[in-house]
């Protein structure tokens, strides 16, 4: 099946028997499962027979969503989690099972992930080191110095859209015996498939493109092999940060239109990036289709040909924080918010949102300037998005030339 068909069909009508087999998976709210004989329950609890026992171990709605995302990423198995961050924490813990408690992370990642590493993992004895994942020589050197048990990167970084050679990083990671965990939230399995490039675990904030409509908080952890999947599930079986069945249902419903949504969002983003790069109020545009992009080679290697993602960032000429906030207040249709991946275009100011908790020193290292905003293109008509940005940029306070 092709991707466009898998998003519509995978996960549904699985393992269902009897007179009523819904064509799409419904919401199963039951917490506990009943069997005619205690012996059957014993076998199911003992993993000798397939079945459901208790919602923290799994339920049919989550299982269908997990099967769907596993299929899309080409993985071994998945876990649907209560948020993307919960998924990342489980992925790190699973990656470090039986491996040295050191994480080598990209220095260009989502702010809350830096907080997870520095404020949650680190106090529990996990050493965290940061490196520029787009500099392969630096990655190789860091691996030989810190001997990590886990290497972590985003397939497309937030918000400056840096892209590393995942295949090369995976090679180095495997040679060093480390697990490679990739946050592929920005990319979706349409743009990049990290497991195909050698990663061990892929994490998505399902809150974004997978669910896609601004009404779900969730995550998915996809493992490429049995060892990592079992480690992920064993942790979740105990601490249970699972996605609720209602959210699983909504995410699955969202994914059915992922291919059509994302392709249009990519088209809108590309056109916006081209238009903004000629705009008199814009200093610089960051977008993966830019031939001058510092990671053009990695993009050509890792991305699906012809697509460059649905996110772009740009710096507003002569804007300080007050001017950026005023620009956001002038937006009429575009939603100024702290998310991405929805059907409506979202504009985020990293300084006050995704990277608020990052120290100024780390922000400088990441190259995040005070005048940078990030746009996650929606599916609206391109001319409406342009018109809204244009009027907000051209208002007297910003037309400084």
Which chain residues interact with ligand PLP by CB under 6 A? 83-85, 110, 112, 154, 158, 183, 185-186, 205, 207, 217, 219, 354
- Count of other CB atoms within 10 angstroms of residue 238: 8
Which residues in 216-230 are b (16+ Cβ under 10 Å) and which e?
Answer: bbbbbbbbbeeebbe
Q: Which is nearer to ligand PLP, 200 or 374 (CB)?
A: 374
Q: Which is nearer to ligand PLP, 183 or 290 (CB)?
A: 183
Name the 3-class secondary structure at 104.
strand
Q: Is residue 179 a contact partner of residue 173, using CB atoms and an 8 Å limit? A: yes
Which residues in 78-101 are b (16+ Cβ under 10 Å) and which e?
Answer: bbbbbbbbbbbbbbbbbbbbebbe
DSSP secondary structure string for all residues of 246-265: HHHHHHHHHHTTHHHHHHHH
Please give the residue whose beta carbon sits closest to ligand PLP in the complex: 84
Catalytic residues, by residue number, are 56, 110, 183, 208
What's the CA gap between 5 and 337, in Å, rounded? 32
Nearest CA to 371 out of 332, 400, 341 is that of 400
Nearest CA to 248 out of 218, 223, 268 is that of 218
What's the CA gap between 50 and 41, in Å, rounded? 10
Nearest CA to 340 out of 376, 392, 382, 290 is that of 376
Burial of 318 (0-12, 13-18, 19+ CB in 10 A): middle
Q: How far is the CB of 183 from ligand PLP (least distance, A)?
A: 5
| Residue 253: partners with Cβ closer than 8 Å, 6 or more residues away | 24
Sign of the alpha-carbon torsion through 244, 245, 251, 255: positive
What's the CA gap between 311 and 231, in Å, rounded? 33
Strand partners, 315: 284, 372
Q: Which is nearer to ligand PLP, 82 or 97 (CB)?
A: 82
Q: How far is the CB of 217 from ligand PLP (least distance, A)?
A: 6
Nearest CA to 128 out of 200, 204, 113, 138 is that of 113
Whether the ω angle into residue 259 lies within 30 degrees of 0, i.e. cis, is no
């Amino acid at each position: 099946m092709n991707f466009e068909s898998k998003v519509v069909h995978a996960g549904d009508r699985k393992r269902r028997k009897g007179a009523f087999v819904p064509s799409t998976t419904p919401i199963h709210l039951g917490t506990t499962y009943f069997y005619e004989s205690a012996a059957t329950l014993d076998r199911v609890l003992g993993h000798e027979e397939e079945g459901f026992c208790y919602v923290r171990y799994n339920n049919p709605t989550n299982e269908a969503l997990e099967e769907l995302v596993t299929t899309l990423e080409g993985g071994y198995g998945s876990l649907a989690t209560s948020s993307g961050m919960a998924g990342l924490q489980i992925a790190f813990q699973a990656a470090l099972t039986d491996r040295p408690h050191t994480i080598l992370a990209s220095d260009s990642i989502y702010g809350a992930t830096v907080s997870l590493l520095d404020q949650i993992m680190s106090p529990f004895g996990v050493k965290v080191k940061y490196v520029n994942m787009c500099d392969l020589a630096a990655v190789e050197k860091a691996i030989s110095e810190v001997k990590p048990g886990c290497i972590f990167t985003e397939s497309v970084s937030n918000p400056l859209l840096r892209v590393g050679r995942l295949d090369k990083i995976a090679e180095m990671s495997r040679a060093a015996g480390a697990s490679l965990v990739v946050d592929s939230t920005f990319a979706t399995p349409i743009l990049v498939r990290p497991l195909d490039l050698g990663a061990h675990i892929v994490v998505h904030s399902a809150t974004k493109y997978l669910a896609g409509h601004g009404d779900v908080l969730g995550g998915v952890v996809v493992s490429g092999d049995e060892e990592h999947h079992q480690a992920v599930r064993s942790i979740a079986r105990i601490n249970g940060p699972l996605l609720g069945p209602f959210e699983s249902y909504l995410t699955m419903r969202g994914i059915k239109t992922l291919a059509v949504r994302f392709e249009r969002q990519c088209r809108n983003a590309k056109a916006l990036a081209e238009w903004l790069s000629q705009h008199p109020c814009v200093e610089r545009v960051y977008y993966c289709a830019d031939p001058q992009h510092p990671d053009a080679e990695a993009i050509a290697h890792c991305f699906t040909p012809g697509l460059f993602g649905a996110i772009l960032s740009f710096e507003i000429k002569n804007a300080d924080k007050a001017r950026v906030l005023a620009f956001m207040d002038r937006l009429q249709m575009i939603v100024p918010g702290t998310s991405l991946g929805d059907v409506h275009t979202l504009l985020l100011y990293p300084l006050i949102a995704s990277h608020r908790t990052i120290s100024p020193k780390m922000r400088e290292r990441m190259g995040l300037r005070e005048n940078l905003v990030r746009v996650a293109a929606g599916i609206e008509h391109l001319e409406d998005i342009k018109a809204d940005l244009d009027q907000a940029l051209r208002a007297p306070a910003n037309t400084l030339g």
